[in-house]
Structure 1
Amino acid sequence: MIEKRDTAPIIEVLHYANDFAGKTFLLKLGGSILQDEMLIDSVCQDIKRLHQAGIRLVIVHGGSKAINQCLAEHKIKADFIDGLRITSREAMQLIEKVLCTQVNKILVDKLKQIGLQAMGISAATIQLLPCRYYSRQHGFVGVIQSVNLSKFKPSSDSISVIAPIGVDAADNSLNVNADYAASKLAVALNVDKLIFMTDQNGIYAKDGSVYSELDSNELIKLINDQTVVGGMLIKTKAILSALNEHLNHVHILNGNIPQVLLKEIFTTQGVGTLCKASSK
């Protein structure tokens, strides 16, 4: 006889799979994950399971490590102001090349290799992310002003893999923060979940523990008391922006953990930080 405890995990997975069928999730994949072939394989297998469960998927990816390597090879110094990369015209051309023809292609090819339909999309080509310039000092760095969905619609059959390149009014390509690009696009698409895949276990408290759940008011406190710093500060601000625009659920997960997406989505196990809007 099969004991109840043996069937419970299966029943739990089926319950969540039924709940999420037909929903739309946006995954933001950090550049660190995309530099490791084993991690790419693991994440793509999780993506395949989500797709098989009937979840419509949109992927936005970063590429900071590959970009840094490329710029170093071309002897272009990586300078930052306010956490944003100073971007010359030459640097912008290289950034776009890395994101669109290297990182995006690797991910799309990997998804196709495991039997999924996937389409690589340059956000610049379809004018998805209209921007203004951040400042004269920053060069070709954009601040996303809106999301133009006239040439983009998520598909239930094919997974959209988006390289986040902004554009100005003259269609010049601009360097934008991938976390903010994911946040803005998630709001515009009114997705059911926004999930950040990083190399961190979630948002850390000052004592080194990981918060399992935070609301927007708590996120503001963590920003103000400088609990979150560096790359996680930018990510937290992007998450807060999405929550303030009525997105309900934002997850931060460590892509180094095997099957982390499946554990977070299809079970009650807490494996990262879940961020929600404050009730008041």
Structure 2
Amino acid sequence: MVLRSDPSVAVRALRSAAPYIRMYKGKVFVIKASGGVFGDIESTRTLIEQVAILHQVGIRVVLVHGGGPQLSQIQESLGITPRMVAGRRVTDEKSMEVTSMVLNGLVNTQILGICRELDIAAVGVSGVDAGLVRAHKRPPVQVEGQTVDYGLVGDIDLIDAKVLQQLLEDGLMPVVSPVSADDKGTLLNINADTVAAGIGAALKAEKLMLVTGAPGILESLEDPRSIISYTDLAGLKKLKDQGSLKDGMLPKAKAIEEAIRGGVRRVHITSYKTPDSILAEVFTNEGTGTLVVENVSALSAAEQHA
């Protein structure tokens, strides 16, 4: 005898998701996935399966990816010592060659392969394609009292999102590598969070989702349970001032602020280590990570209660 599973569970899930599907159908989500999720094929597939559901219910998804761990691994295998300052990578000429190879080649193609398996019509692009990300080499800057030359690292001048808009109009999902270039064609390495924030602002995205190894923004770095459910730009500044934002979360905080000030309504920070974290952030009030808005007064009572 075969026992029949209870269909009411699936029906309840569909009913609860339906209002969100109606709300977000046709809207643009920019999802930035950090390189840690691409460390193995199963975690990559789990992420792309969630993205596929958003794509298939009519949400226009732009997926921006990092590749830091893969890049560090390849650098070390070539005898290049990775150097990070304030959460950002210093990039010399040899490192830039490796960066382009890893991000535009290894990681981007791996994602596209899984998209094909899941029947997502995806197209890989980089910041160089069609002038998507126009940038200049960052001049030496002061970081914690010392002058730092980041090398071939770029600061964004302009996001020309026409190529992404055209792909989205055609029902395609862009998969974006953050490798970019200046007006002379010199390749530049730009932080993927920064690129995702710029793209989100250029497309006036409904949501920017930063999917990382951290569970969200923590009030106390020593306590992984101290996840802040929601905050606003004032709260984000307070967290930075009190030292709650360190290392890789510093460029994320800057990207969050730039995205919101550029017109993105909501930014989510969630972990790829939490099961179905992207879907939970989109289709429930509770979510799993941290939601950042311009001002918490814009949140509904239900969201604040959750």
Deviations 1:190-239 (A, max 9, x none): 11110011111100011620000011100011111111111012111110
1:167 aligns with 2:167: no
**Aligned with 1:130: secondary structure?**
strand
CA distance in 1, matches of 2:164, 2:101: 21
* Residue of 208, 219, 233 corresponding to 1:194: 208
CA distance in 2, matches of 1:186, 1:266: 20
Following TM superposition, by how much is the alpha carbon of 1:171 offset from its aligned partner in structure 2, in angstroms?
1.3
Deviations 1:71-104 (A, max 9, x none): 1111111123343222111110110111011000
Following TM superposition, by how much is the alpha carbon of 1:150 offset from its aligned partner in structure 2, in angstroms?
4.1
Give the equivalent residue in structure 1 for 2:158. 146
The normalised TM-score by structure 2 is: 0.86
1:278 aligns with 2:291: no
Which deviates further from its counterpart, 240-249 or 24-33?
Answer: 240-249
CA distance in 2, matches of 1:225, 1:117: 44
Q: Kindly tell me: are residues 146 and 258 of structure 1, through their superposed partners in 2, closer, same or farther at Cα, counting changes over 3 Å?
A: same
Give the equivalent residue in structure 1 for 2:194. 180
Give the equivalent residue in structure 1 for 2:88. 84
Q: Kindly tell me: are residues 228 and 113 of structure 1, through their superposed partners in 2, closer, same or farther at Cα, counting changes over 3 Å?
A: same
What letter is aligned with 2:168? Answer: S
* Residue of 155, 175, 182 corresponding to 2:168: 155
Give the equivalent residue in structure 2 for 1:73. 77
Deviations 1:149-193 (A, max 9, x none): 344324152110000112112011101111011001100011111
What letter is aligned with 2:53? Answer: R
What letter is aligned with 2:255? Answer: A
Deviating beyond 6 angstroms after TM superposition, the runs of 4 or more aligned structure 1 residues are none
CA distance in 1, matches of 2:196, 2:82: 23
RMSD: 2.0
CA distance in 2, matches of 1:110, 1:23: 24
Give the equivalent residue in structure 2 for 1:114. 118
Pairs within 5 Å for 1:1-280: 8-136=12-140, 137-153=149-165, 154-155=167-168, 157-206=171-220, 208=223, 209-278=226-295
8 Å Cα contact 1:126-1:152 kept in structure 2: no
What letter is aligned with 2:208? Answer: L
Unaligned runs of 5+ in 2: 1-5, 141-148, 298-306
CA distance in 1, matches of 2:83, 2:44: 28
8 Å Cα contact 2:86-2:247 kept in structure 1: no
Q: Kindly tell me: are residues 264 and 80 of structure 1, through their superposed partners in 2, closer, same or farther at Cα, counting changes over 3 Å?
A: closer
Which deviates further from its counterpart, 169-178 or 128-137?
Answer: 128-137
Question: How many positions carry a matched residue from both structures?
Answer: 279
Q: Kindly tell me: are residues 21 and 152 of structure 1, through their superposed partners in 2, closer, same or farther at Cα, counting changes over 3 Å?
A: closer
**Aligned with 2:151: secondary structure?**
coil
Q: Percent identity?
A: 28
Q: Kindly tell me: are residues 8 and 150 of structure 1, through their superposed partners in 2, closer, same or farther at Cα, counting changes over 3 Å?
A: closer
